[in-house]
């Protein structure tokens, strides 16, 4: 993947987030303050705007795209999720460094760095009913697929599937981090909104990589 591919990921993530903003807001209304769809929509729109002006030039390192997107999200998004997603993308971009062609191993390292960034900042672990419950299984599934010899499409497909399952698995959890934790046992029975948005972002990555792979074959 080059800089243009990563910019496509961010743009497609913005599309999926915007299309699902009402659902994210409803999830957050159940166990939070009902602003997650709005926050995500605003943040990813800002990221898309930061990357606008056509495809990035060939010589831009792909990592710079993620750093710019993360910076835009931090500066434009309210709530807990803005700094968390912004940090995730900036850390992923830094992990890529000056790598010009992002292959499966490099992207795996970047996703791992993103997860580490979220956990360094938010201190959530798996089972706390947060975005970590989608991101951690996604990174683990990616790494397992990579170890099994899968290429980029297989790795991101595994990650997206695990993120969706991880989001579903937050339903019976009791929140121990973030606003939802104030509800105690009443947070049980609802999907965590941040886990739902993380699943969308990884779905966007899988979609973009699949489209790229299909274009390469065709």
Token pair for residue 214?
């299909």
Binding mask of the shown chain, residues 46 to 85, with x at each position contacting ligand ADP by CB under 6 A: ---------------------------------xxx--x-
Distances in Å between the Cα of 89 and the Cα atoms of 9, 55, 189, 193 are 12, 19, 30, 19
Stretch that binds ligand ADP, among 48-56, 126-134, 137-145, 151-159 (CB under 6 A): 126-134
Minimum separation from the CB atom of position 64 to ligand ADP (A)? 25
Matching residue, tokens 């609802």: 190
Binding mask of the shown chain, residues 179 to 208, with x at each position contacting ligand ADP by CB under 6 A: x------------xxxx-------------
Kindly give the residue spans of alpha helices, DSSP state H, lying in the chain: 3-19, 21-31, 36-50, 62-76, 81-96, 104-122, 132-147, 152-168, 193-217
Distance of CA 150 to the CA centre of its chain: 21
The CB-nearest residue to ligand ADP is 194
Stretch that binds ligand ADP, among 7-15, 120-128, 150-158, 200-208 (CB under 6 A): 120-128
Are 204 and 20 a contacting pair, CB within 8 Å? no
User: Among Mg ion, ligand ADP, none, what binds residue 81 when CB lies within 5 to 8 Å by partner kind?
Assistant: ligand ADP
Are 196 and 48 a contacting pair, CB within 8 Å? no
Q: Does 17 bind ligand ADP (CB under 6 A)?
A: no
The CB-nearest residue to Mg ion is 32
Q: Does 86 bind Mg ion (CB under 5 A)?
A: no
User: Among ligand ADP, Mg ion, none, what binds residue 192 when CB lies within 5 to 8 Å by partner kind?
Assistant: ligand ADP
Q: What is the CA radius of gyration of the chain?
A: 16
* SS3 call for 173: coil
- Residue numbers at the binding site for ligand ADP (CB under 6 A): 28, 32-33, 35-36, 39, 79-81, 84, 118, 122-124, 130-132, 177-179, 192-195
């Amino acid at each position: 993947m080059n800089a243009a591919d990563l910019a496509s990921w961010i743009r497609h993530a913005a599309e999926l987030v915007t299309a699902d903003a009402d659902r994210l807001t409803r999830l957050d209304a159940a166990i939070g303050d009902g602003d997650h769809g709005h926050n995500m929509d605003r943040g990813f729109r800002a990221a898309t705007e930061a990357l606008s002006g056509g495809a990035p030039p060939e010589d831009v390192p792909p990592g710079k795209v993620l750093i710019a997107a993360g910076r835009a999200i931090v500066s434009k998004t309210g709530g807990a999720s803005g700094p968390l997603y912004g940090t995730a993308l900036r850390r992923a971009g830094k992990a890529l460094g000056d790598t010009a062609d992002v292959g499966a191993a490099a992207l795996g390292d970047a996703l791992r760095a993103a997860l580490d960034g979220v956990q360094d900042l938010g201190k959530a672990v798996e089972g706390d009913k947060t975005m970590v419950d989608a991101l951690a299984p996604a990174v683990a599934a990616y790494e397992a697929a990579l170890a099994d010899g899968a290429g980029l499409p297989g790795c991101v497909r595994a990650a997206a599937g695990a993120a969706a399952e991880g989001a579903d698995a937050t339903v019976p959890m009791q929140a121990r981090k973030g606003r939802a934790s104030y509800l105690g046992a009443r947070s049980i029975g609802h999907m965590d909104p941040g886990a739902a948005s993380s699943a969308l972002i990884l779905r966007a990555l899988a979609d973009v990589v699949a489209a790229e792979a299909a274009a390469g074959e065709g």
